[in-house]
Amino acid sequence: MHTVTANGAAIPALGFGTFRVDKADTLRMVPHVLKLGYRHIDTAQIYGNEAEVGEGIANSGVPRGEVFLTTKVWVDKYRHDDFLRSVDDSLAKLRTDHVDLLLLHWPNEAVPLAEQIGALNAVRAAGKVRHIGVSNFSTALMAEAARLSDSPLVTNQVEYHPYLSQKPVLDAARKAGLSVTAYYAMADGKVLTDKVLAGIGARHGKSVAQVVLRWLIQQDGVVALSKTVGETRAAENLAVFDFELSAGEMAAIHALAEPKGRIVSPQGLAPAWD
């Protein structure tokens, strides 16, 4: 699996996401995908499955040092002392002394961004986190976070799929040396019936899901998260490194973007999007 390099981090280009994966499925799937060859696992405090992710990694037989592990601090833990305690709690659940990447999960105007970034830097300085970043940040917030941080940010994790152009975020991230990590790649299943994507898949002997994941990781500086609770689908999602989309096919997928393509925009959390 190839990696995306960003401000000193080498991030496996395809990750296994655990959003809305229940505890039993997390315990089953995490060791399975690691045995398949995945080396990037993404979780978060709010997902409620950090303990199962930690147990799954421990049960996989894959050394911890070979797994790139990401988690995210929830918005109600952004005050400095709460933040530090929450990271210790996450590490205990994950059965590790560090995570490879720690993200602010969503913006929270109730706590000064300088305090949030200060806490991120504090846990990194303490050796509890190798790299830091943000999630669901606009370009303006991303720039301000980078300005406030002593250590470089390495990613902005955002919704990104064929129906949502993230060009402003991508351009700003690349200019600042950050990667963009894409979640909701399948647009909540909408892509699976898309005729353009199906046609491209037919030409390559690949599924629509494989085409979308390939489209993401073929872009400069983009990491893709895949999620499934099926063993067969997990293997299929990993089989995206043996073909390449043409420039025309890439453009055709980009052309599917819609003005109202965004799916995830929770009131009270979402910033003013670009």
Per-residue pLDDT in tens (0 to 9) along the chain, 274 residues: 799 999 999 999 999 999 999 999 999 999 999 999 999 999 999 999 999 999 999 999 999 999 999 999 999 999 999 999 999 999 999 999 999 999 999 999 999 999 999 999 999 999 999 999 999 999 999 999 999 999 999 999 999 999 999 999 999 999 999 999 999 999 999 999 999 999 999 999 999 999 999 999 999 999 999 999 999 999 999 999 999 999 999 999 999 999 999 999 999 999 999 9
Per DSSP, the three-state class of 233 is helix
Q: Give bridge partners of residue 161 from the DSSP assignment.
A: 164
CA distance 171 to 58: 38
Per DSSP, the three-state class of 14 is strand
Q: Does the active-site annotation cover 47?
A: yes
What pLDDT does 1 receive? 73
Q: Is 98 left (phi over 0), alpha (psi -120 to 50) or beta?
A: beta
105 marked ligand binding residue: yes
Q: How far is CA 200 from CA 60, 158, 165, 169, in A?
A: 35, 25, 19, 26
The structural domains of the chain, with segments of one domain joined by +, span: 3-254
129-135 vs 3-6, strand pairing mode: unpaired
Q: How far is CA 137 from CA 4, 133, 149, 197, 227, in A?
A: 20, 10, 15, 28, 22
What pLDDT does 217 receive? 98
Give kind and range of the element (H or E) at residue 232: helix 231-238
Q: How far is CA 160 from CA 58, 59, 91, 156, in A?
A: 31, 31, 28, 11
What pLDDT does 137 receive? 98
Q: CATH fold of 3-254, please?
A: TIM Barrel (3.20.20)
Q: Which of 47, 160, 163, 183 is catalytic?
A: 47
